Amino acid sequence: MRLDVQGEEQGPDKRYSYNVYGVLPGQSGKYILHITHIDGFLYAQHCNGGGVAMQMAMAKHYAALPADARRHGLIFLFVGDHENPGVGATDKFVEANRDLMENDLLVVLRPEKPGMVQELDEGWISSIPTNVMTPQMLMVTNRSPLLTDLFQQAATLYNITTMEFVYPDPASDETNFHPPYFDAAVISAGWATGTRYYHTTADYENNLVRPAVLEKQGRAYAYVIDELMKYNKADLEQGGTAYTAEKSIYQSDILKLLLGNH
């Protein structure tokens, strides 16, 4: 028997998706936006099921705290069209909340592909999962010294494995927060990983996304959020460099790091 399977990627005239978000007000009227995407290829455990699970746990944690414990408000945003933007992704959220984006947004925190453990690659013998977290790459779009330091503190406290490199380039639909699409001096920051199992089924089949690692990263992000309650936007801008779209993601520092400076 021969089975011939064909598929097509539907355009925005045929498909639809939604953004879902919850708001926890704070005392200052300013907000920390925590974002993750709910769409993905194949099982999507690595990209970005782990991020969804972690963000839901964090939202539950902060919702249980009294409102007067929050200097700044929190928005937990789940976006629908990250992998193929245009229907329900961040551009729709930005369009619907321009005043918030321009005047009351402190920072965007964007965890991407958390919770994965590193494998020990023995070549032709086998690849064996370990209990060591896959190294995280830190993005801070304006290279804020304060934000960078907060993430480094969190990495030390919660044993987050990180690369000694900070890149400024947003990717995929998160570019909608930044020039040339939107110019309101938005600052985005967060850890991400890039592995050979990106957009494959092996993350699930090899059991590489672990709850214990997700918990560590969730606690580390919560540390960053708690520390950010002490600061304002000017603090995050001090010593930084505003992000500009002088080059595309395909010419970015992050791809040069992964693929070499070709």
Q: Cβ(202)–Cβ(41) under 8 Å?
A: no
Average pLDDT, the chain: 86
Q: Report the distance separating Cα 168 and Cα 241, nearest Å.
A: 10
* Range among 90-94, 114-118, 143-147, 209-213 rated most confident: 143-147
Q: Report the distance separating Cα 179 and Cα 184, nearest Å.
A: 8
Q: Cβ(134)–Cβ(214) under 8 Å?
A: no
Residue 260 has a pLDDT of 59
CA angle (203, 204, 209) in 5-degree steps? 65
HEC string of 80-134 equals CCCCCCCCCCHHHHHHHCHHHHHHHEEEEECCECCCEEEEEECCCCCEEEEEEEC
Residue 8 has a pLDDT of 76
Number of other CB atoms surrounding residue 115 within 10 Å = 28
Q: Report the distance separating Cα 143 and Cα 108, nearest Å.
A: 14
pLDDT of 250 above 60: no
Confidence of residue 251 (pLDDT cuts 50, 70, 90): low
Q: Which of 132-136, 187-191, 213-217, 234-238 has the lowest mean pLDDT?
A: 132-136
pLDDT of 156 above 90: yes
> What are the structure tokens assigned to 73, written together?
């408000």
Q: Report the distance separating Cα 128 and Cα 243, nearest Å.
A: 40
Q: Position 135: which residue type?
A: P
What value does the mean pLDDT take over residues 110-127?
79
Strands 105-109 and 31-37: parallel
Q: What is the pTM of this model?
A: 0.88
Residue 123 has a pLDDT of 65
Q: What confidence tens digit (pLDDT) does each residue in 161-195 have?
A: 998 889 888 877 788 898 888 889 999 999 988 77
Domains of the chain: 20-259 (3.40.630.10)
Q: Which residue has the higher pLDDT, 10 or 128?
A: 128
Confidence of residue 129 (pLDDT cuts 50, 70, 90): confident
Confidence of residue 229 (pLDDT cuts 50, 70, 90): very high
pLDDT of 159 above 50: yes
Cβ within 8 Å of residue 72, ≥6 positions away: 26, 27, 28, 30, 31, 32, 106, 228, 229
CA angle (108, 186, 142) in 5-degree steps? 90
pLDDT of 138 above 70: yes
Q: Which of 31-40, 123-132, 241-250 has the lowest mean pLDDT?
A: 241-250
Q: What confidence tens digit (pLDDT) does each residue in 49-71 have?
A: 899 999 999 999 999 999 888 99
Helix spans in the chain (H): 50-63, 90-96, 98-99, 145-157, 202-205, 211-228, 233-237, 253-259
Q: Cβ(133)–Cβ(193) under 8 Å?
A: no
Residues of the chain with pLDDT > 70, as a percent, come to 89
76 SS3 class:
strand
What are the b/e assignments for 75-84, b being 16+ CB within 10 Å? bbbbbbbbbb
pLDDT of 30 above 70: yes
Q: Position 252: which residue type?
A: S
pLDDT of 29 above 90: yes
